[in-house]
Structure 1
Amino acid sequence: MAHETFLKEIGGKSVVEQIVDNITNAIINGELKPGDKIPTENELCASMGVGRNSVREAIKILGAYGVINIKRAEGTFVTQDYDSKMLFPVLYGIILQKDSANQIVELRKIIDVGILQLVIEKLDSESLYKVEQAMKDLETKITTFNVKAKDIFEADIAFHMVLVDITQNALLEGICFYVDQITRTSRMKAIEKFLTEDATEQFLLMHKEMLRVLKEKNKNEINKVVENHYQYWEKVNS
């Protein structure tokens, strides 16, 4: 392979960032494929005209994000399987955005619409039973005397993760896990709002509506159901 083909200068960025971008772009473009050995330090230094320290720093960053795998005595290889660490830079970018709270709500809506579409396509009797059990667990928690917001939150996450599991999509699973982590505080506030306003029945109804759409395999109602599902969360972020 002619490694020089993807090692191009990218203006306006540090040397380390250029190296990171060049290697990731090569993977995206298919010039480097999963399992491929990347150029050696000497090759990277020579082809880009950069120092060894910059190359080593870039390799550390790519390794930390799970993009490459360093094997002692063998070399450095493009990771062959999905690694949840690959989502870190994306999620950090979202968190650091101005007005990130509202953007995260919008992101989660889009994700949920896609999840429900996939679930409808893959739903069978066994997976439907799992969703119904998760719904029963959520209802049990909500109707418990003096229930805590934390308990409802955990049952809510469990319900949604059952849906994610049905999609059999590791990337979606990773994204949803980290979105749940970074939205914990605002979603807890939304659930506390339900409790304060004695509106837990409404909270439960929104989940039942989601289950109904799945059972009926009604893709036309997905957007409406998701919009209703996040109305309280939007209020606490406004």
Structure 2
Amino acid sequence: MFNSISSKKVYEQIIEQIQERILNGELKKGDKLPSERELSEQMKVSRTSIREAIRVLETMGVIESKQGEGNFICTNIEKSLIEPLSMIFKLNDGTWQNVLELREVLELQTVKIAATRATEKECMELKSIINEMKKEAGSTYNNKAIVLLDQKFHNKLAAISKNYLIESLFITASKLFEGFIEDAREKIISTHWSEEALFEKHNAIYEAIKEKNPERAYEKMKEHMDIIRKSYTK
């Protein structure tokens, strides 16, 4: 399964071989790796090098170790990308405009795809989220709850796209979006836009998806993004 290795940086080549087998489909989410002894014999390297490679892959979020069971390909690799993206954003002095542009790139096309693929059940789930948002409206103490529901609505759109790359990008960017959505909502309400208008935009997006109208869904999402942009530029 694996090739022998002869190099000064042995653990790096071990990592490369495991990554290559993930990329070519030989190793999939949840697959168990051979034991350290088996990997050592197959690659003709020391078990110390194998352990070092495993530790690095664990840190990267590619492998998860289960006590008494062994090492497995992580079933939730996407979450391991969240913190690096947040750090990149902070270290580069990221702005609201960076986040908004990322949201526009992702969401304007995602909502069009969602409108063509949404099932009746998924539409009902979207409507349920909007109804929950309305229940929480009107109380300053519930701002956090509405932010989480807002994020849930947009994450649901990504899930409805049934494109795992789009959904993974949403999960990866979720921490950036979470803080941005809370800040954006406060700015929207502090301007001439009301909470009702904000919910109306979400409902309009839902209606377009329910009607399976991708162009209208795009138009309504664009209006939603425009409100956010205008609120930030005031």
* TM value normalised by structure 1: 0.69
- Partner SS for 2:3: helix
- Partner SS for 1:21: helix
Partner Cα separation in structure 2 for residue 165 and residue 137 of structure 1? 19
Q: 1:18 to 1:29 in 2, by over 3 A?
A: same
Contact 2:111 2:218 in 1 (8 A): no
Query: 2:103 corresponds to which letter in structure 1?
Result: R
Instruction: Kindly indicate whether residue 189 of structure 2 is the aligned counterpart of residue 195 of structure 1.
Output: yes
How many pairs were matched up? Answer: 223
Partner Cα separation in structure 1 for residue 132 and residue 49 of structure 2? 52
| Larger deviation, residues 216-225 vs 157-166 | 157-166
Query: 2:119 corresponds to which letter in structure 1?
Result: D
Partner Cα separation in structure 2 for residue 95 and residue 125 of structure 1? 35
Q: Which aligned pairs between 1:25-40 and structure 2 lie closer than 5 A?
A: 25-30=20-25, 32-34=26-28, 35=31, 37-38=33-34, 40=39
Q: 1:181 to 1:138 in 2, by over 3 A?
A: same
Instruction: Kindly indicate whether residue 153 of structure 2 is the aligned counterpart of residue 154 of structure 1.
Output: no
Instruction: Kindly indicate whether residue 19 of structure 2 is the aligned counterpart of residue 24 of structure 1.
Output: yes
C-alpha displacement at 1:204, in angstroms? 2.1
**Structure 1, residues 129-167: CA drift from partner, whole Å, max 9, x if none?**
22223222223333x255643233133123334444545
2:120 corresponds, among 98, 116, 125, to 125
Q: Which aligned pairs between 1:48-87 and structure 2 lie closer than 5 A?
A: 52-68=47-63, 70=65, 76=71, 79=73, 83-84=75-76, 86-87=77-78
**Structure 1, residues 175-213: CA drift from partner, whole Å, max 9, x if none?**
534533333222211111122114123322321221132
C-alpha displacement at 1:44, in angstroms? 3.8
Q: 1:180 to 1:36 in 2, by over 3 A?
A: closer
**Structure 1, residues 83-126: CA drift from partner, whole Å, max 9, x if none?**
22x12453334223325454443333343345424432333333
Q: 1:132 to 1:70 in 2, by over 3 A?
A: closer
Higher relative contact order (CA closer than 8 Å, sequence separation 6+): 2
**Any gaps of 5 or more consecutive residues in structure 2?**
none
Q: 1:16 to 1:203 in 2, by over 3 A?
A: farther
Partner Cα separation in structure 1 for residue 102 and residue 232 of structure 2? 16
Q: Partner residue of 1:106?
A: 101
Instruction: Kindly indicate whether residue 209 of structure 2 is the aligned counterpart of residue 214 of structure 1.
Output: yes
Instruction: Kindly indicate whether residue 88 of structure 2 is the aligned counterpart of residue 92 of structure 1.
Output: no
Give the RMSD, CA atoms, in angstroms: 3.9
Q: Which aligned pairs between 1:131-142 and structure 2 lie closer than 5 A?
A: 131-142=126-137
Q: 1:90 to 1:16 in 2, by over 3 A?
A: farther
**Structure 1, residues 9-60: CA drift from partner, whole Å, max 9, x if none?**
8xxxx76555433321232024x333364561354463xxxx6544322212
